[in-house]
Structure formats: C-alpha cells, structure tokens
C-alpha cells in the first residue's frame, strides 16, 4: 500500500515551486529500502528555469531515508537548489 502523496508549495527566490512527494513509491521488500519519488516544478512563472532543471521540472526516485535525513521534501529540494547555484 502506498503512502499518501504530499504536495508542498513554497517561494524560492521569487519563484513559486510545487514539490510532490511520494514517500513509499516502491516498498522496501523490492529493493531492501523504501524508495520515494519526488518532483518539483515551477508553477509561477510556469516552467521557469531552475538550477536543477532548465525546463522548470525535476523528477527523481531515491531512498526515502535521504529525504527524511534532509528534513523532508521541501528541505531536500531547497538544499539541492542551493547546491546547484542558488539562483534561478
């Protein structure tokens, strides 16, 4: 059974971003650890370039523990954005 999908919106350097997070995209019995799915998109302005995605959309699967260790999906994306350039 999948965990409910979370949707978060936050302002990053003047852009409104939406983060969609599925913490149990693939359960642990398949790969030995829960695999999560995370997406981020620029929703205002639409498709504004991001340091992690030129088209304003990023999607990835990763260990759920990585997102938890970062402090949650918004904190994880915020760290990624800062590490890749910090400005749109």
Please say if the pLDDT value at position 1 is more than 60.
no
Domain count, the chain: 1
Closest CA to 21 of 85, 66, 81: 66
pTM, rounded to two decimals: 0.88
pLDDT of 36: 95
* Domain assignment of residue 52, yes or no: yes
pLDDT of 4: 85
pLDDT digits (tens, 9 = 90+) for 25-62: 987 777 788 999 999 999 999 999 999 999 999 999 99
Do the bridges between strand 57-63 and strand 6-12 make them parallel or antiparallel, or are there none, so unpaired? unpaired
* Domain assignment of residue 88, yes or no: no
* Domain assignment of residue 16, yes or no: yes
* Domain assignment of residue 39, yes or no: yes
* Domain extent for 50: 6-83
Please say if the pLDDT value at position 88 is more than 90.
no
Residues in CB range of 21: below 8 A, 6 or more apart: 5, 6, 7, 8, 36, 37, 38, 39, 67, 73
pLDDT digits (tens, 9 = 90+) for 8-21: 999 999 999 999 99
């Amino acid at each position: 059974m999948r965990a409910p999908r979370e949707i978060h919106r936050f302002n990053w350097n003047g852009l409104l971003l939406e983060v969609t997070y599925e913490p149990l995209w693939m359960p642990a019995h398949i790969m030995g650890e829960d695999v999560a799915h995370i997406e981020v998109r620029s929703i205002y302005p639409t498709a504004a370039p991001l340091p992690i995605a030129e088209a304003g959309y990023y999607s990835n699967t990763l260990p759920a523990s990585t997102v938890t260790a970062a402090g949650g999906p918004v904190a994880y994306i915020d760290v990624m954005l800062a590490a890749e350039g910090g400005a749109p």
